[in-house]
Structure 1
Amino acid sequence: MIRAVADLAAVEDATDRLLRTAAGLDEAALAAPSRLPGWTRGHVLAHLARNADALNDVLHGRPMYPSDQARDDAIAHGAGRPPAEHLADLRDSSARFLATARALDEAGWERPVTLRNGVTDRAAGLPFRRWVEVELHRIDLDAGPTVADLPGAFLDRAVDYLAARYTGHPDLPAVELRAEDGRSWRTGATGGEPRRVVGTPAALVGWLSGRTPGSGLTSAEPLPTPPAL
């Protein structure tokens, strides 16, 4: 519970940075492509707002999204709004999620929740999931911030999170991730001799999250392409 509360403070800080980045985007910039295929910067901001509301719904015991189509339609509908509407929506939706989460007691944090695609977690895991969304999609805006700008506290946790997410994934061969300070993680297929991939936490997170092609990493074999998040 203590970590979840600290993560909420980190989400609030990350959201403030996101809002400052988004505030520099005019209508033309919002309509321009983001780093995500098929999405403008407006799509990214609309997604972030709807994700905050979806996590708020989960904390209230409701489905994360009515359907995948409803999720996609909401993002598409909101993508073309003026900058001021994007900023207000992002600020308000984040505030709703934070208020609901901060009202949880210890039992509430321990409650199991169901996310998109049947993924399950404890409520205490949602603040970090939101933190991941905010930090990575701020990069996807392609408006200045890069993986190198991510906070160190986030990067250390994000390597753990992404390694666990891909453990046993059929589309990623066995990989041993090794940070330059000696820490290591195993991910991908559970069988076979893992290939070793070495680099800073920023480089590892950039590659695992699909935000870089593996810049700054070393490996004796060609780097595989991690599955989409």
Structure 2
Amino acid sequence: MIDHAHDLACVQDATERLLTAVAKLDNAALAEPSRLPGWTRGHVLAHLARNADALVNVLEGRPMYESAEARDADIERDAPRPLEAQLTDVRESAAGFRRAGDVPADWTRTVELRNGVTDSAARLPFRRWAEVDLHHVDLGIGYELEDLPAEFTERETGFLADRFAGHPDVPATHLTDGTRAWRTGREAAVAEVTVSGAPADVLGWLAGRREGTALEVTGGALPKLPPL
């Protein structure tokens, strides 16, 4: 069972880690490329702030974004801001999300995100945790997949394995980090491919952060995953 209160606390911890790390940068560093194609570090921080606002919209029953075009325009508008403005925005928008999460509510209700995707309200704090911690890695400032909390790595691996489960273009795949195991891809009585590796490498491949060169693959080639 998902404990949304626990996940809200984890989001706060992840946010503080990110803010502490970003505070050591300067304006020039924010203008440098992040690990996400076409985005500077400023774009990543602007996205994180606007994502927090968007999840407040979801919790309060409004559309997540006005439109895809408005979402992209907001990120482009906010990306060039100086360090102090970025830090303030990420901090204040995160606080807004936490306040919305602390309001008594039916956490079993179904909510709608982008592109018609639905989920239970109780999963939103974990989704936000994933945004904060994975984009912290995307900043390329010394926080790596190996530094992620073990609980997060295990849960996000399971979440992404479920996301690709049943996908017709992904072969039936058995995933293992040496301790835990997951299934993803097409439904089949027996997995076509087995992919194994360190927890960070398995997650990195599923999340599109690593090419999978450090993974061991048996039964075929490393599956090509669709975009997230």
**Pairwise TM-score range, normalised by the shorter structure:** over 0.9
* Contact preservation (8 Å) 2:19, 2:87: yes
How far apart are residue 144 of structure 1 and its match?
0.8
Aligned residue in 2 for 1:153: 151
Q: How does 1:92-111 map to 2 (within 5 A)?
A: 92-105=92-105, 108-111=106-109
Task: Percent identity, please.
Answer: 54
In 1, the alpha carbon distance for the partners of 2:66 and 2:169 equals: 28
In 2, the alpha carbon distance for the partners of 1:193 and 1:55 equals: 36
Q: Does 1:188 align with 2:185?
A: yes
In 1, the alpha carbon distance for the partners of 2:224 and 2:86 equals: 33
Structure (1/2) with the larger helix percentage:
1
Aligned residue in 2 for 1:32: 32
What is the TM-score with the length of structure 1 in the denominator? Answer: 0.94
Q: Does 1:204 align with 2:202?
A: yes
Aligned residue in 2 for 1:62: 62
In 1, the alpha carbon distance for the partners of 2:21 and 2:89 equals: 15
Name the SS for the 1:77 alignment partner.
helix
After the TM superposition, which parts of structure 1 deviate over 3 Å for at least 4 consecutive aligned residues? Answer: none
Aligned residue in 2 for 1:9: 9
Does 140-149 or 191-200 show the bigger shift?
A: 191-200
In 2, the alpha carbon distance for the partners of 1:16 and 1:57 equals: 22
* Contact preservation (8 Å) 2:174, 2:191: no
Does 189-198 or 210-219 show the bigger shift?
A: 189-198
Does 161-170 or 8-17 show the bigger shift?
A: 161-170
In 1, the alpha carbon distance for the partners of 2:22 and 2:35 equals: 15
Name the SS for the 1:37 alignment partner.
coil
Report Cα offsets for 1:175-205 as digits up to 9, x if no partner.
Answer: 1101202x22111222474200012322211
In the alignment, which of 159, 165, 168 is matched to residue 166 of structure 2? 168
Aligned residue in 1 for 2:111: 113
Name the SS for the 1:110 alignment partner.
coil
C-alpha RMSD of matched pairs (Å): 1.5
The aligned amino acid for 1:224 is P
Equivalent residues, number: 226
Name the SS for the 2:3 alignment partner.
helix
In 1, the alpha carbon distance for the partners of 2:102 and 2:84 equals: 27
Report Cα offsets for 1:111-163 as digits up to 9, x if no partner.
Answer: 11000011101110100000111111001001111111111011111111110
How far apart are residue 169 of structure 1 and its match?
2.3
The aligned amino acid for 2:131 is E
